[in-house]
Amino acid sequence: MSTTTLDHGHDHGHDHAHDHPHGFARWLFATNHKDIGTLYLWFSFIMLLSGGVLALMIRTELFKPGLQFFQPEFFNQLTTMHGLVMVFGAIMPAFVGFANWMIPLQIGASDMAFARMNNFSFWLLPPAAILLATSFLVPGGATAAGWTLYAPLSTQMGPGMDMAIFAMHLMGASSIMGSINIIVTILNMRAPGMTLMKMPMFCWTWLITAYLLIAVMPVLAGAITMTLTDRHFGTSFFNAAAGGDPVMYQHIFWFFGHPEVYIMILPAFGIVSQILPAFARKQLFGYASMVYATASIAILSFIVWAHHMFTTGMPVTSQLFFMYATMLIAVPTGVKVFNWIATMWRGSMTFETPMLFAVGFIFVFTIGGFTGLILAVTPIDIQLQDTYYVVAHFHYVLVAGSLFALFAGFYYWSPKWTGHMYNETMGKIHFWASLITFNVTFFPMHFLGLAGMPRRYADYSAQFTDFNMVASIGAFGFGLSQVFFLFFVILPTIRGGKQAEAKPWDGAEGLEWTVPSPAPFHTFETPPQFK
């Protein structure tokens, strides 16, 4: 503040210069929701590519039977780190980036509620990522206990395990702060007249997701802290020889882990529920039922955790309960799929890239949902537990679900973020390449699993060779598709390209369509009516 003058204009200008630092400082001290959203998106994309490299190393080893490149111990480190990086480094921060960018815009807020905490919650992530990545370099290497970090394996590992635990604590703290911010922003900062039941679906799905995160992140922190004290402070929570119970770890972990998988899909549901109405030129079918279905999924997600544990010697009564509770989740999920299809039904649809990814999402996510329903059936699951069928199932939900929705959201909102239109042809190439190579990679894994190939193995019997070769070829194709996305879509769109119009999707394919006049809170992406 200048001390030599009382000229308010001058003072304001002086402050203004300090409020908007340039270069690296702009990002380091960012308190603007858009800058922080951008930081999250770049961080998650870098982590996506890193986790992708780990996955391609896994698929390289599995191209042929026998040990080609990696010892089993290192192979298991790859599978563990691939899982941790993708879940905590790629998918979750990407959705938080979308929340930061879009929620204030969609509810008419000036920014997020706690701007500096927003900055802090992002900057916890890079140190956590570095901790995870450098755990490969300590004695014994990264943890090889699987991304679930099951005891007793996790209590025997080297210092890489401690680094993973610390990284997850940091990421969990980041998630909790981000969630508090999202909840307070949505509940306290909506524009006048925007009631909860008038909010865009993306805000609803994130509000519910944020409550889930606050509920389950401390549970994960508890599980890994008990692991830490077992490792270093002489406790025996999970040591059966000293009266502990290794299966208790699984109960605690999956009480976090199951809501976690819904944390990674609910924001995707929100993005798809924004995109379909825009390109069908219709209102979302059954808005209220979509809100209630999302809330139902979130509540039910807390009572199904032990379907991950059918092979741990659970009483039959418990098996029955968890089987039926898991099947029950198919009901609200089915409601959502029905409403999406009804939204498209007889709409004046055009298929720009966001719509392609949204429709692709429904197709592949539904396959993942059906395989989940199959795995919910206890006697089937006992046969398929820890086989590649499970790997196929959750990649259909997480890659074809969460990731495809993230791509859809990027193509849909990037004109708003960058001011430029992406190249439509390049977007469509990215979509078709991703969809085809994804299915080539993961569909054969259903057959591998049904035939009995266990997951997390560096070697396998000769009869699994062909499908593994197909999967590995598909995986490299999928990886290359994302490199293509970076160089031919993201970078050209940021650098320039056609200027985006104020309402980039209004004139799509030359159709004349307008927003109905009596609705004052239509943000640019609220579905306009087809005339």
C-alpha–C-alpha distance, residues 76 and 84, integer Å = 12
C-beta of residue 40 within 8 angstroms of C-beta of residue 181: no
C-alpha–C-alpha distance, residues 200 and 225, integer Å = 38
- For residue 196, what pLDDT is reported? 96
Give the residue numbers marked as catalytic: 82, 111, 147, 174-175, 258, 260, 262, 273, 307-308, 333, 336, 455
- Which residues are within 8 A (CB) of 342 and not within 5 positions of it... i.e. 6 or more apart? 285, 286
- For residue 57, what pLDDT is reported? 97
Report CA 416 to chain centroid distance, whole Å.
22
Half-sphere exposure of residue 463: CA atoms within 13 angstroms, side-chain side: 8
C-beta of residue 32 within 8 angstroms of C-beta of residue 111: yes
* Tokens coding 456: 């997390």
Please give, one letter per residue, the 3-state secondary structure of 416-433.
HHHCECCCHHHHHHHHHH
Per the listing, tokens 């692991």 go with: 227
C-alpha–C-alpha distance, residues 300 and 310, integer Å = 18
In degrees rounded to 5, what are phi and psi of residue 274? -85, -35
Half-sphere exposure of residue 144: CA atoms within 13 angstroms, side-chain side: 17
- For residue 497, what pLDDT is reported? 83
- Could you tell me which of 191, 178, 78 has the C-alpha nearest to residue 523? 191
Report CA 113 to chain centroid distance, whole Å.
23
Tell me the CATH architecture of domain 31-236+248-513.
Up-down Bundle (1.20)
Give me the tens of pLDDT residue by residue for the chain, a chain 531 residues long.
443 333 444 444 444 445 677 889 999 999 999 999 999 999 999 999 999 999 999 999 999 999 999 999 999 999 999 999 999 999 999 999 999 999 999 999 999 999 999 999 999 999 999 999 999 999 998 999 999 999 999 998 899 999 999 999 999 999 999 999 999 999 999 999 999 999 999 999 999 999 999 999 999 999 999 999 999 999 999 999 999 999 999 999 999 999 999 999 999 999 999 999 999 999 999 999 999 999 999 999 999 999 999 999 999 999 999 999 999 999 999 999 999 999 999 999 999 999 999 999 999 999 999 999 999 999 999 999 999 999 999 999 999 999 999 999 999 999 999 999 999 999 999 999 999 999 999 999 999 999 999 999 999 999 999 999 999 999 999 999 999 999 999 999 999 888 988 888 875 544 444 444 444 444 444 444 443
In the three-class reduction of DSSP (H, G, I as helix; E, B as strand; rest coil), residue 514 is classed as strand
C-alpha–C-alpha distance, residues 261 and 83, integer Å = 12
Residue 105, classified by CB atoms within 10 Å of its CB into exposed (0-12), middle (13-18) or buried (19+), is middle
* Tokens coding 436: 């085809």
- Which residues are within 8 A (CB) of 170 and not within 5 positions of it... i.e. 6 or more apart? 124, 125, 127, 128, 131
- For residue 5, what pLDDT is reported? 37
C-beta of residue 343 within 8 angstroms of C-beta of residue 277: yes
Amino acid, single-letter form, for residue 215: A
Amino acid, single-letter form, for residue 147: W
C-alpha–C-alpha distance, residues 21 and 367, integer Å = 48
C-beta of residue 98 within 8 angstroms of C-beta of residue 267: yes
C-alpha–C-alpha distance, residues 462 and 459, integer Å = 9
Q: Where along the chain do its domains lie?
A: 31-236+248-513
The torsion region of residue 234 among left (phi > 0), alpha (psi -120 to 50) and beta comes to left
- For residue 22, what pLDDT is reported? 83
The CA radius of gyration of the chain, in Å to the nearest whole number, is 24
